[in-house]
Copies of this chain bind each other. A is one copy, B any other.
C-alpha cells in the first residue's frame, strides 16, 4: 500500500473511500497474520479500522470478499521486477524477494493464512491464483530480456521458469519446514536458470 493512501488501480482512487479501504485492508491483514482466516470477523475489522460496520458489510460482504480485495491490493502494490542486466541477477533478486517475504514476521504468517484460506474457500482460491498470476506476469519481462540477450532459447516458458524459482522456497515454507536462508534462495534461482539454459521449461 502506498503511504499517501492512493491505491493504484483502485476503482475509486483517492479521497475518503481509498482511506477507508486502506485502513480496512491493513486491519484485515493484521488479523489474518495474527489469528488466521477462520477467526476473521467483519464486525471486529470495522471496530479496529474505526470504520462503520455498515460500510464494511456493504462493501466487502464476507470475510472471503475482504480477503479477495486484500489480495487484489497486494498485487496492485507489490514490488516491480528487477532489471540487473542478466538472467541470473534478475532471478536471484526474485528469489531473495520471495525469501524475504516468507521470512518477514508479518508477511510470512499473512501468506500462510491466505494460502490456508484459499484451501478452504473457492473465492479466496480464485483471488490467490490471480495474485500469483500478477506476480508471475510482472517478472516475465526478465525472461523476455534474457531471450533478447540470447541467454535463453526463444521458446522458454517464462511462467514455468519463474515458478521454478519460487517453488523450493514455498516448499520449505508450507510442507517440509526446512529453513529458508539466502543460500537456499540463491540456489533456487541458479538451479532454475541452469535448467532453463539447458532447454527445460519450453513452451
Contact = CB atoms under 8 A, between A and B. Distances in A.
A6 to B, nearest CB: 28
Q: Which of A119, A177, A188 has the most CB of B within 10 A?
A: A119
Contacts of A125: 177
Nearest to A35: B120
B171 A163 contact: yes
A164 B191 contact: yes
A144 interface: no
A170 interface: yes
Contacts of A170: 167, 170-171, 174-175
Given A132-B177, A133-B176, A176-B129, A190 B194 contact: no
Interface in A162-202: 163-164, 166-168, 170-172, 174-178, 184, 187-188, 190-192, 194-195, 198, 200-201
Contacts of A176: 129, 132-133, 136, 163
Contact of A187 (B133, B166, B191, B201): B201
Nearest to A191: B195
A22 B120 CA distance: 26
B128 A175 contact: yes
B174 A174 contact: yes
A178 B194 contact: no
Contacts of A160: 168, 184, 187
A133 B194 CA distance: 27
Interface string A107-136: 000001101100110000100110011001
A47 B170 CA distance: 37
